[in-house]
Amino acid sequence: MLKSAIMEGCETPLDLSPDTAPFQGEALPSGRRRAKILLVDDNGDNLVSLEAALDGLNEELILARSGLEALHHVLENDFAAILLDVKMPEMDGLETAEIIRSRKRSRNSPIIFLTGYRSDEHLFRGYDLGAVDFLFKPIVPEILRSKVSVFVELWRSIEVQKAQAEALRKSEQQFRSLLEAAPDAMVISKEDGEIVLVNSRAESIFGCRRDRLLGKNIRTLVPYWSAQDFAASEGAFADLMARRSDSIEFPAAITSSPLRTQDGVLITSAIRDVTERCKAEEHIRQLNLELEKRVTERTAALLRSNEQLTQFAYAASHDLQEPLRMVVSYVQLLEKRYKNQLDGTAVQFINYAVEGALRMEALLTGLREYLQIEEERSIEVVDCNLVLEVVRRNLEAAIRSSGAEVTSGGLPKLLALEVSLVQIFQNLVGNAIKYRGAAPPRIQVSAERRAAGDSSCAEWLFSVQDNGIGIEPQYLNRIFGMFKRLHGAKYAGAGIGLAICSKAVEHLGGRIWAESQAGQGSTFFFTIPEKKAGQ
């Protein structure tokens, strides 16, 4: 039964396959495994002396008193060496060796025969059965030890190789499982494109069985695949057309990365079918085109109607000027000629009429000025210090009569429209004088450069600060609208100055705002983006 179990080799339930017990031997504290050595002799004294001779090797010695007992141990263990007495009752050493050799697992266990006498017949049969050596009794312990230690070393190096092979097998298995789990088709090829490995996703994407894909060139799947291109853009995606086995082409995103192995370079290509993504992108592109077309059309329509409105407003303000002049002239003539025939109330009414007409004339002039702000004049380098000089001259009478002081830190030179800057400064400084408090106006004009932020370019921040009557904060946004006035009754004006400033600043690409508290003066801020020549 035992004999037949051994003969059947790996199929027996007792068999320990390399997967379940790859390493034999007990571990020593040093991490070194103890090799197992089987000593077989029917004579107990001989066994004791063999054991004593090998004791110093510090390996695991297993003793057997018969061939059958030895076979039993062979079933359960891997031996670094088997020392086998040739002459034993029932099953002699040669017969035992024959059975050991017949088993796949123990076929390569080195057997050293121990024999009392030299017999050529034994020697031939012994070597025939795969004996690696013969030792003649009486055994010399030193010789026995040195022979056995050679086999132990051999066993040890084989164990190391087995461990390495096992580790390699495991990592290869992991690699294959990873490859199979990948959501993309994974194709591993040689540098010339010959496919050596694919995963199941590759089978489904390309509609072709794995065995048919192996050995083919990857260019039959991706015609423009190029190892050099991929090496140059390591890890980057390339969008290429791929071809199924039924010749249907589809867009694919491909990444390839080279792997240097002992057998040369292998290239792993991850191929993803991006048909849906491309369809979605195309759809978005179409939508964007459509949107762009609509925006262009709407913008053109808006520009047209804006232009018509501007022309209308300009023509109206211009054409109304003449009849208005006539009203003023005739009412004034009326007052002059018939002053003596009219009573005081009638003269006052005439004055109101003249005043109203003059105010209306100022409104029309302001409106025309507003409409005339030019958008398309080319910008030039403007020295803001000179601009402020011009403004001071233009406002000379008001400055003198109010005792105003207009001071400025050094102002910059920048690319802008000079007329616009004069308009802006003149309106702001003029207002600072006009809306003064009890004290003479003190007006400070400053500028500071602000560096470019993440999404904005560098710009100049200007400020005009006064010590006038101030503005209640809730009205600060309204004052930049057309004809919007807060202190209308007491101060002359058409409510157009700040609207002009706002439009002019906007045309230069900037923003305008104010900070103020009633009775505490105001500061008007505006920005002008720094332009480079040619922008």
Nearer to ligand ADP among residue 63 and residue 486 (C-beta)? 486
Q: Does 468 bind ligand ADP (CB under 6 A)?
A: yes
Nearest to 147 by CA among 114, 119, 117: 114
Name residue 256's beta-bridge partners. Answer: 269
- Residue among 104 and 487 whose Cβ is closer to ligand ADP: 487
Give the C-alpha separation, 429 to 456, whole Å. 29
The verdict on 126 binding ligand ADP (CB under 6 A) reads: no
User: Residue 457: which region, alpha, beta or left (left: phi > 0; alpha: psi -120 to 50)?
Assistant: beta
Which of 106, 431, 465, 527 forms a contact with ligand ADP (CB under 6 A)?
Answer: 431
x-or-dash pattern for ligand ADP, window 512-531, by CB under 6 A? ----------x---------
**3-state SS of 76-100?**
HCCCCEEEEECCCCCCCHHHHHHHH
209 lines the binding site for ligand ADP (CB under 6 A): no
Other beta carbons less than 10 A from residue 257's beta carbon: 14
**Contact code string over 317-346 relative to ligand ADP, x by CB under 6 A:** ------------------------------
Instruction: Confirm or reject binding of residue 497 to ligand ADP (CB under 6 A).
Output: yes
Does 494 engage in binding with ligand ADP (CB under 6 A)?
A: yes
Distance between CA atoms of residues 256 and 259, nearest Å: 10
Please classify residue 16 by burial: count the beta carbons closer than 10 Å to its beta carbon, then call 0-12 exposed, 13-18 middle and 19+ buried: middle
Q: Of 32-40, 255-263, 275-283, 488-496, which segment contacts ligand ADP by CB under 6 A? A: 488-496
For residue 270, count other CB atoms closer than 10 A to its CB: 20
Under rule CB under 6 A, residue 502 binds ligand ADP: no
Q: Which of 269/423 has CB closer to ligand ADP?
A: 423
Tokens 């068999």 belong to residue:
15
Q: Give every CB contact of residue 521 below 8 A, 6+ residues apart in sequence.
A: 437, 465, 466, 467, 468, 470
x/- letters, 349..368, toward ligand ADP (CB under 6 A): --------------------
Determine, following the binding rule CB under 6 A, whether residue 442 of this chain makes contact with ligand ADP.
Answer: no
Under the binding rule (CB under 6 A), the answer on residue 193 touching ligand ADP is no
H helices present in 182-226, as ranges: 200-206, 210-213
Closer Cβ to ligand ADP, 193 or 493, answer by number: 493
Q: With respect to ligand ADP, which residue has the nearer C-beta, 239 or 472?
A: 472
Nearest CB to ligand ADP, comparing residues 198 and 424: 424
Segment near ligand ADP (CB under 6 A), from 12-20, 36-44, 244-252, 469-477?
A: 469-477
Q: Does 395 bind ligand ADP (CB under 6 A)?
A: no
Q: How many residues bind ligand ADP (CB under 6 A)?
A: 22
C-beta of 325: minimal distance to ligand ADP in Å? Answer: 21
Q: Which of residues 401-430 bind ligand ADP (CB under 6 A)?
A: 427
Task: Name every residue whose Cβ is closer than 8 Å to that of residue 316 and which is 6 or more positions away in sequence.
Answer: none
Tell whether residue 144 is a contact of ligand ADP (CB under 6 A).
no
Q: Which stretch binds ligand ADP (CB under 6 A): 188-196, 219-227, 296-304, 464-472?
A: 464-472
Residue found under tokens 């003023």? 328
What's the distance, CA 151 to chain centroid?
A: 58
**Alpha helix stretches (DSSP H) within 342-417:** 344-371, 384-394, 396-402
- Residue 435, interface with ligand ADP (CB under 6 A)? yes
Q: Contact at 8 Å (CB) between 270 and 255?
A: yes
Question: Cβ closer to ligand ADP: 510 or 521?
Answer: 521
Chain centroid, CA 315 distance in Å:
58
Q: Residue 271's beta-bridge partner residues?
A: 185, 254
**Which positions lie near ligand ADP, rule CB under 6 A?**
427, 431-432, 435, 466, 468-471, 479, 484-487, 493-499, 522
